[in-house]
Amino acid sequence: MPLSRRSFIKISSATLGTAAAGGALASRGFSSSRAHGQDPGTEGDRVVPTFCELCFWNCGVLAHVKDGTVTKIEGNPAHPLSRGKLCPRGTGGTGLLYDPDRLRSPLLRTNVRGSQEFKPVSWEAALDEVAGKLIRMKEQYGPEALALYSHGYGGSWFKTLMSAYGSANIAAPSFAQCRGSREVAFELTYGMGAGSPEWTDIENSRVLTLIGSHLGENMHNTQVQDLARAIERGAQLVVVDPRYSVAAGKARYWLPIKPGTDIALLLAWMHVIVQEQLYDRDYLERYAVGFEELKAHLADKTPQWAFARTGIAAETIVETARFIAGGRPGSLIHPGRRTAWYGDDTQRGRAIAILNALLGAWGREGGFFLPAAMPIPAHPHPPYAHKPRPAPVVPGGQVFPFASSTLAHGQCHASIPGTADYDIKGWLVYGTNLVQALPEESKTIQAIQALDLLVAIDVLPSEIVGWADVVLPEATYLERYDDLHAPPWREPYVAIRQPVVDPMYDTRPGWWIAKQLGERLGLGAYFPFEDVEQYLAERTEAAGIDLVELAKTGVIEGPKVPVTIEQGVQPTFPTPSGRIELYSQQMADAGLPPLPDFTAHEEPGPDQFRLLFGRAPMHTFGRTTNNAFLGRVMAENVLWLNARRAQELGLAQDELVTLVNQDGVRSPPIKVMPTERIRPDCVYMVHGFGHDAKGLSFGRNRGVNDTQLVTRVAIDPAMGGTGMNVNFVRIERAVA
Ligand code: MGD
Ligand code: SF4
């Protein structure tokens, strides 16, 4: 794998200002959260700092507890991602904790798979059942027969379990269904991805360009705070989106692009910037290779050429190109988040990465900062036995040269008997509702039906839980410890997740479940601690971090270090050339276009619309749509439909329609929202609604599950991502 992994600025533990003598930690001077919760002096009996799991940004929170009940969750002012504020979802964490539908005890399936019929059993019985089957599976087929799907911070314990068991089949939908193509594109160009949380210095941007990234609806706390500050300071936005998003409403320019043509716009912008010599010449000379090849490649990608493809007037392309270049230094093209759109997504990601290089944005104030991470040694364990899985494959046995993670749908495919690479017989599913998260639902169900074992570790009776053989109910993030969190960021920091209240019902934290399984599998040596408090004490001690202080404050920051070129960082680029690769020899060697190419995509027929989907500020996919607190703010999704097309179809506000996709799949009824804020060739809905699991009493049958309409995908040849914006729907008035 030629891609080099991230190389972060590391700070020596000796420099940690807050480090305390490790000896005190050996006695594990912290224990129950009740003992170390701060006295707030405001309301509630105590306040416990921890970090959020309502999405994957992991902001620091302060949970207020009164008489044993969590009454309020607010942002931890000391935490660099929250700075005292939370997004609406974060404040709604109690809606998950006190969700009446929560899984309450381990369950064993009593009827056919998918019947959602279970009987409660003891932990002993459930763990023995799983461990027994895993032992037999390994004996019969080898360890690679087991796959883990894991999404969410608590999944780390199960990754340890898998590696100890001997299987490298570990995947999450956040790669191939989400931001994988963007990460790969930036890795190919700069030698490192764009980070999660992203390393964008939005706060200091002068011009911020958003290409299908609807910040404000796609709510990531720090980014949105930074955006608000930037706008206050006079920063200007250029928004490229077929829909007039919230961000478009704040923009200097909104370009309602024809879906699927962004690469043409990006190439034309670069054409203008190169022709008019508006790029950062010094920066490119110092750090980049391949400018001459890029220039030649762009020669015929004129604004007129792009107009014919994007529908954006040539003059507007020229004007916005000049405007974007005029903002440098401090002009940032946001890398996007869910980028699995059309199957040429690595190409689009490369175009964005290259345009950022022309603007001199990588490593610059107002562009991308170069993050720093707290150095925390791994907890020692015996070496893992697993053999690395060969490069991930999907139907047809296609290998993806730049897939830097296992593909979730690849694992699913390898679970379907009769397929070329069929070898997976068991799934552990942690914190991901695969039935809604993976495209081509019928294949997911086909794979599930063929499994020898499906174990779901979850907090709610979601759709995937309904398909499980054994259900292991996890304590929520407000009731458990997890591993330390120290992502690379502008301010290096370490945060702790700790229980705010005791686990409700007969639920258990993930670390305990994984350790119990490990011990039953004869893999106890990989969990060499009595409990998680010992584990955390040993990890923090090895890093020279004061655990007692960390438990009290929730977060400890390392000393500030320079994170931009302006602040004195000498950037390094872990690419094969050691420089920014405008022209990618790695892509050429793999038989892929070394410079981004535009491909025309199929367009919807006259009575069809392209199905687009996205986020809402109060929800994170399906994981929050059963949360009654957040559901009160947005209980269902609606269908955005261009007002003129609605009139032509005789449809009025809130009328119920059925969507029928290109393969004849029909949706349940959804309300129409006629609006001028979307192009006539597409419709839009928020993802995560339309649950049909019996146990989700609030979220069930509210709105439509877009995944059911995603019956085809366009596979990215570079990294195997599943472009999902390639489905078309017709609209029929719903029969009453
Ligand atoms: P959710 O559907 O929200 O997200 O896919 P997923 O990660 O599967 O399912 C989350 C599951 O985790 C739920 O079952 C919830 O009950 C459970 N859960 C919540 N908290 C905890 C916890 O603390 N512990 C445990 N054990 N379980 C917990 C998201 C994925 O979907 C992503 S990242 C993207 S970007 C894609 N988006 C997307 C889309 O927009 N449209 C379509 N059609 N498909 C998509 N797929 C991808
Ligand atoms: Fe929680 Fe919102 Fe932060 Fe996500 S962005 S971690 S939901 S507060």
Q: Which atom of ligand 1 is least distant from the CA of 623?
A: 3
CATH says 609-733 is which class? mainly beta
Distance 463 CA to ligand 1 centre (A): 11
Torsion over CA: 71, 77, 79, 80 (sign): positive
Could you say which ligand is closest to the alpha carbon of residue 52? 2
Structure tokens at 650: 């005789």
Q: Which amino acid is at 674?
A: P
Which of 617, 616, 648, 619 minimizes the C-alpha distance to 631?
619
Alpha carbons 588 and 592: distance in angstroms, whole number: 5
Distance 623 CA to ligand 1 centre (A): 6
- Give Cα 315 to chain centroid, integer Å: 36
Q: Where are the domains of the chain?
A: 177-371+564-589, 609-733
Angle at 657 between CA 655 and CA 662, to 5 degrees: 155
Could you say which ligand is closest to the alpha carbon of residue 626? 1
Which of 96, 28, 26, 254 minimizes the C-alpha distance to 626?
96
Helix/strand/coil for 536: helix
**Tokens 């719903």 found at:** 734
Alpha carbons 534 and 527: distance in angstroms, whole number: 11
Q: Which amino acid is at 443?
A: K
pTM of the model: 0.93
Q: What is the mean pLDDT of each run of 10 residues along the chain (736 residues)?
A: 29 29 32 40 76 96 96 97 95 96 98 96 98 98 94 96 93 95 98 96 98 89 95 97 94 97 98 98 98 98 98 98 97 97 98 98 98 95 74 65 92 89 92 96 97 98 98 98 97 97 98 98 97 98 97 96 96 98 98 97 97 94 92 95 98 98 98 97 97 96 97 96 98 89
Per-residue confidence (pLDDT) for residue 21, from 0 to 100: 26
Q: 467 near 114, Cβ under 8 Å?
A: yes
Q: 240 near 212, Cβ under 8 Å?
A: yes
Number of neighbours of residue 583 by Cβ within 10 angstroms: 19
Per-residue confidence (pLDDT) for residue 666, from 0 to 100: 97
Q: Whose CA is nearest to atom 3 of ligand 2?
A: 59
Angle at 187 between CA 688 and CA 492, to 5 degrees: 80
Query: Does this chain's domain 177-371+564-589 share its CATH topology with 609-733?
Result: no
Fold (CATH) for 177-371+564-589: Dimethylsulfoxide Reductase; domain 2 (3.40.228)
The DSSP secondary structure of 78-96, one letter per residue, reads T-TTTTT---HHHHTHHHH
- DSSP one-letter code for 266: H
Pairing mode of beta strands 580-581, 69-75: unpaired
Which of 68, 104, 129, 723 minimizes the C-alpha distance to 459?
104
- Ligand 2: residues within 6 Å at CB? 52, 54-55, 57-59, 86-87, 89-90, 219-221
Distance 85 CA to ligand 2 centre (A): 10
Q: 177 near 340, Cβ under 8 Å?
A: yes
Distance 339 CA to ligand 2 centre (A): 20
- Give Cα 568 to chain centroid, integer Å: 31
Q: Whose CA is nearest to atom 1 of ligand 2?
A: 90
Alpha carbons 218 and 224: distance in angstroms, whole number: 9
Which of 669, 673, 666 minimizes the C-alpha distance to 645?
673
Could you say which ligand is closest to the alpha carbon of residue 341? 1
Q: Which atom of ligand 2 is least distant from the CA of 61?
A: 8
Per-residue confidence (pLDDT) for residue 110, from 0 to 100: 98
> Among 96, 220, 619, which is best to mutate for testing ligand 2, by the most ligand atoms less than 8 A from CB?
220
Q: Evaluate: CB of 722 within 6 angstroms of ligand 1.
A: no
Q: 432 near 406, Cβ under 8 Å?
A: no
